[in-house]
Amino acid sequence: MKELKETILKAVEEGIEVKKRFFSENAETIIEVSRVIADAFNEGKKLILFGNGGSATDASHIAAEFINRFKRERPGLPAIALNTDMAVLTSIANDYDYSEVFSRQLKSLAEEGDIVMALSTSGSSKNILKALEVAKKRKLITIGLTGKKGTKMASKSTYAFVVPSADTPRIQETHIMLGHIICEMVEEILFELPRR
């Protein structure tokens, strides 16, 4: 029992340390990215998110916070997670290749001025890298969320948020907190409505 408690406390301490370091190093960039997203929404553009596995559910979670509401009662904001439509994902993977599942959707759905947010703990997933290449060709602003091994992904992103850890749970925990903070910042920038 004592060993299990120590495991819990160690995980919590590691998570706190990773987040403290990440957010202290990236606070100014988070503000800048939040303004870029807010400006895109003001111009009638949308936020397009995607990821694999746990990062897929994080992408969906962040999209939901924008579409519905976060901390303020306000109109919905246009965000879409490309990993949610099983028919689209499986048809592309079946007819072409799994590496195409996000890039083909971007070619169909993305318009100039849209913002792309890609999530990958490893930063080396072929479908993520291919989608970022398509986004660059279409002159889209890209936001990459990855871990410390994600140098390929970071190099292909307009804004790269690299969590200083190689531990998948710590990276994902930081990514979802980052998504929450960006959503809160965008609400602060766009709306003067009272908090609920």
pLDDT tens, residue by residue, 84-135: 999 999 999 999 999 999 999 999 999 999 999 999 999 999 999 999 999 9
Report pTM. Answer: 0.94
Starting at the edge strand found earlier in the chain, the sheet holding 159-163 runs: 79-81, 47-51, 115-119, 141-147, 159-163
In contact, 128 and 120? CB cutoff 8 Å: yes
2-190 CATH fold? Rossmann fold (3.40.50)
* Residue 81 predicted with pLDDT over 80: yes
Q: Which sequence spans correspond to the domains of the chain?
A: 2-190
pLDDT of residue 138: 94
Tokens of 90: 């499986």
Question: Is 87 strand, coil or helix?
Answer: helix
Average pLDDT over residues 131-151: 97
pLDDT of residue 68: 95
Residue 80 three-state SS: strand
- The mean pLDDT value of the chain amounts to 95
Specify whether the CB–CB gap between 165 and 171 falls below 8 A.
yes
State the amino acid at position 154 in one-letter form. Answer: A
Burial state string for 42-78 with b = 16 or more CB within 10 A and e = fewer than 16: eeebbbbbbbbebbbbbbbebbebbeebbebeeeebe
Which whole-number Å values give the CA distances from 116 to 24, 71, 102, in the listed order? 24, 23, 11
What pLDDT is recorded for position 86? 95
pLDDT at 28 over 80: yes
- What confidence score (pLDDT) does residue 1 get? 81
Q: What percent of the chain has pLDDT over 70?
A: 98
pLDDT tens string 2-26 = 899 999 999 999 999 999 999 999 9
Nearest to 117 by CA among 140, 139, 138: 140
